Chains A and B, each alone.
Chain A
């Protein structure tokens, strides 16, 4: 789709200005409109990128980072799957733990100061359900709380409060986040809409770049399908920028073959180098649900889990090497996570059942290398119910990366994380310069004052017709409906009295025909 046509189709009717700004035709909004202001403002933004590596299934952290300090108890708890002490890989300056022998790539990153391990990451009252635990990790909610937005979704909503109205635009022409997968996960779900673009898999990515599509049958139905697909491609707002970015990077360093995580990270490196200003990438790699036969009985350093860990390690190492080769190593930090660790005691079928806290890795040139936290204590005779208690809340890891890597102001962190969490020494905080939210796009709803203590005035713009304004909490519950009727096109105000609601983050949502817009409001004491 031609950009001009896109803008024509995506911006509500107005008068076309004769002039162009940065090659974009814009509508004649008032000069003080946020849209025009944003176009005039110099962009203040970090070029930092965060890569989230999800290990689906619940990774057995104890066999990934072996607790040498309590080796006897470890061996006792899982004799059928334990990794021999002399086979573990040493981490420089950390003799109390060892890496799984298949993770030679990751060991190299530790040696060169590009990786850190955070021990026993979890949260109070852990869930042992894959789905529920995944939702908790992605939403960054309390264990007993159901939150319908994701932590990076809320972060991106904070950074780009008007998204998706008026996006893409001259100051943010790229996807805010990219996920390799069929659907964007809860992680990227904002308070209202998903903040991410998904590329269903590496094959589809190459199809997107090379213009190949799945076949349609040679029938009238196939003819119409091709037609709809063609229009669909034209209207995928970000397809072109993604293709263009990929096209700028013809050469990358080597990645292992037969490793789907490596394939995904290869795409990420390519897009970062290709110039996308996308802040967050998410990739995932499954198979960690190792209830049985996670090792070969003849050699416990080999088998299913060893293969998985080797692929993770090889993929991250190749990715890090490629980032260096491409000259973008300074800009990227990544982290691994899994919905839970596994039980201390192994089961009789040579596997491990669902557990609680586990270690995770943070990697990149700007990490503070080493080990954070103590080696988890292993009971001398672990029972089937024993689990690793958490030392660090996973939300501390998120909060630290947001503040020290994605440069979110400390005072705004609570808006995103829903409460305060301790900071950890994970990345070199000196690399951050404070960021202002990008106010480009079209804001159809605002409130003043914000933050507010009891009342705030909400101003909204409707194209006419039925208009709805609701106040919603972080859980997605509708607390108040302020407006619910037909309006003539125009701008109106309504007052929200927060009454006895507790201090915290609230969203005010505008619905006007197909348009949805959301504004984050903060109530303070």
Chain B
């Protein structure tokens, strides 16, 4: 559907009283992976950024406006920033701790200091989450953070179950470093990753006492999925588990190791779904590696595996509803690209993010923001000021308050509900809608209200929205009509009606006055004479109310 058709459909529709009628069948689209050649305006750039990063910053939108769509996607897919420095010690070690880590100084990293003390490791897990939040808030102009979260949701693990924070960090570092790498390599690395060996009991999986936990999820959640064409059998789960026997995690070196005596040396027979493959039992010291490679070669030869991960990516970046047209026009071609490129992820994202389908108006604005999208997006889109990077105590404290926020909105980073990840990305038929309920929506509104008004204070440091920073980057903020229109177009994915814009302008920016000049004068005085406290308060209160109002609209929850 092109924009013109879309807009006229919208107009026709807007004469109707929509809400309490049964919803019309929603149009999906037949557009596919042809390279997108349509307009490259703020609208498309915001769409691309909201989907590939957490929130779309005005400066980033302006930057990508200077590039072509191809160049923009290339830049997002090829991060140049180095991987972030590891989390540092910022937690309190006073009190009764059996084995305090007094050997490392505050502000230096704890990830290389083995410590299995319950209190210390718990504080380090918290430290890890704060650090992760900080990475998202300060993300570079790339898809890396969004892909790191994607893999965390895909290979879901829980820090509380993993326990030791070094395992947690190592696992996470693996996901981030491989975020845009090779899917098959990543599955291999995750399979013998110590955190995963602990989380899904791989370390207890032996020839004499097989534990099928990991083998099952390897097929069901990580590679093949539960779709109608995912026809692996219960016997395949058992056979895969046998292949994976013998691996353990060393909790001093935090590395995996293989013990041949714990490994099942028998041949493993797979079903017709896997082409009746037999993996030969290998009793050597390298048996674990050799059989694992054989297992993954077998799994990845099944076409359903490529399609499954493409559907997961589709639901992460586009929309949850995959009908037969989308399956044929998008998922299958993407799966072919994945296969042709030997399971490299980047070519798939490249094709998807440059496609007609991705920029189709029917695919814009239809995601419900995840809590992280919302919380990190607020910080980034409004240029919320954090303490200087050297103040790690101040920053970790504030990042922690954001971790708490996403947690109470039901996205506890590092601790998804279970190995399936967050329900928003797999639970039929609601998907993203699961994020929004009568408990979480008021919490989202409270968060945006508080950020707009008084902010959050931790450790004497405060984060709060100063809306004037963004306003100054918008064209003509002194013109109240332009301001309301530009701001709402910037932060909302569904345009407001002219009548609404006018009402909002009059009620909020003009406080009921009829003359636009009053806002113009106040704004101009504010920019030239910020020391005029009364006028500055006048302007800031209206800026605050405008932002608060727009963020309370249902439209704001969409991305």
Residues of A within 8 A of B (CB): 1, 5-6, 9-10, 54, 56-57, 127, 129-132, 134-135, 144, 146, 148, 181-183, 185-186, 192, 200-201, 211-232, 234-235, 284, 286-287, 289, 465-466, 468, 470, 481, 484-485, 511, 513-514, 516
Count A/B pairs, Cβ under 8 Å.
Answer: 198
CB atoms of A217 and B9 under 8 A apart: yes
Contact A223 B18 (CB under 8 A): no
Min CB gap B469→A, angstroms: 20
Query: A200 near B436 (CB under 8 angstroms)?
Result: no
Task: Say how far B298's CB is from chain A's closest CB, in angstroms.
Answer: 37
> Does B518 lie within 8 Å of A470, measured CB to CB?
no
Task: Indicate the member of A200, A230, A466, A481 with the most B CB atoms within 10 Å.
Answer: A466
**Beta-carbon contact of A183 and B15 below 8 Å:** no
Measured CB to CB, the closest approach of chain A to B458, in angstroms, equals: 6
B32 CB to nearest chain A CB (Å): 17
Q: Which residue of B lies closest to A198 (CB)?
A: B507
Determine how close the nearest CB of chain B comes to the CB of A444; give it in whole angstroms. Answer: 15
14 sampled A-B residue pairs with Cβ under 8 A: A9-B439, A130-B513, A131-B542, A132-B538, A183-B545, A192-B454, A201-B503, A216-B494, A221-B364, A224-B433, A228-B558, A230-B19, A466-B400, A514-B446
B388 within 8 A of A: no
In the assembled complex, B81 has its CB within 8 A of some CB on chain A: no
Q: Is the CB of A289 within 8 A of B513?
A: yes
Specify which chain A residues have a CB less than 8 angstroms from the CB of B500 in the assembled complex.
Answer: 214
Fill in one digit per residue for B526-544: 1 if any A CB lies within 8 Å of its CB, else 0: 0000000111011001100
Least Cβ–Cβ distance between B485 and chain A, in angstroms? 16
Using Cβ atoms and an 8 Å threshold, which residues of chain B touch A468? 457-458
CA distance A186 to B538 in the complex (A): 11
A64 nearest CB across to chain B (Å): 18
Nearest residue (CB) in B for A232 is B554
**Which of B367, B436, B503, B513 has the most C-beta atoms of chain A within 10 angstroms of its own C-beta?**
B513
CA of A134 to CA of B522 in the docked complex: distance in angstroms? Answer: 13
A-contacting residues, B282-334, CB 8 Å: 319, 321
Say yes or no for B467: interface residue by CB 8 A criterion. no
Docked-complex contact B494 and A227, CB < 8 angstroms: no
A132 CA to B18 CA, complexed, in Å = 41
Q: Name the residue in B6, B27, B507, B555 with the highest tally of chain A Cβ atoms < 10 Å from its Cβ.
A: B507
Q: Which residues of A contact B239 (CB under 8 A)?
A: none
Name the residue of chain A whose CB is nearest to the CB of B366. Answer: A220
What residues on B are CB-neighbors of A186 within 8 Å? 541
Q: Least Cβ distance of A10 to chain B in Å?
A: 8
Contacts of A223 in B (CB 8 A): 23, 26, 366
**Is the C-beta of B198 less than 8 angstroms from some C-beta in chain A?**
no
Q: Among A54, A220, A468, A470, which residue has the most Cβ atoms of chain B within 10 A? A: A220
Report the Cα distance A277→B13, complex, angstroms: 39
Inter-chain CA distance A224–B549, complex, in Å, is 20
Chain B residue nearest to A5 (CB atoms) is B438
Tell me whether A132 and B26 are in contact (CB under 8 A). Answer: no
Minimum distance in angstroms from B40 CB to a CB of chain A: 20
**Given known contacts A220-B321, A466-B404, A513-B405, A225 and B446 CB-to-CB distance under 8 angstroms:** no
Question: Which residue of chain A has the shortest Cβ distance to B548 in the bound complex?
Answer: A183
Known: A131-B522, A514-B446. A57 touches B514 (CB 8 A): yes
Chain B residues 448 to 501 lying within 8 A of chain A, measured CB to CB, are: 450, 454, 456-460, 493-494, 497, 500
A226 touches B401 (CB 8 A): no
Chain B's closest residue to A468 (CB) is: B457
Bound Cα distance from A200 to B557, whole angstroms: 20
Count chain B CB atoms within 10 A of each CB in A56, A514, A516 and give the residue with the most.
Answer: A514
B98 at the interface (CB under 8 A from A): no
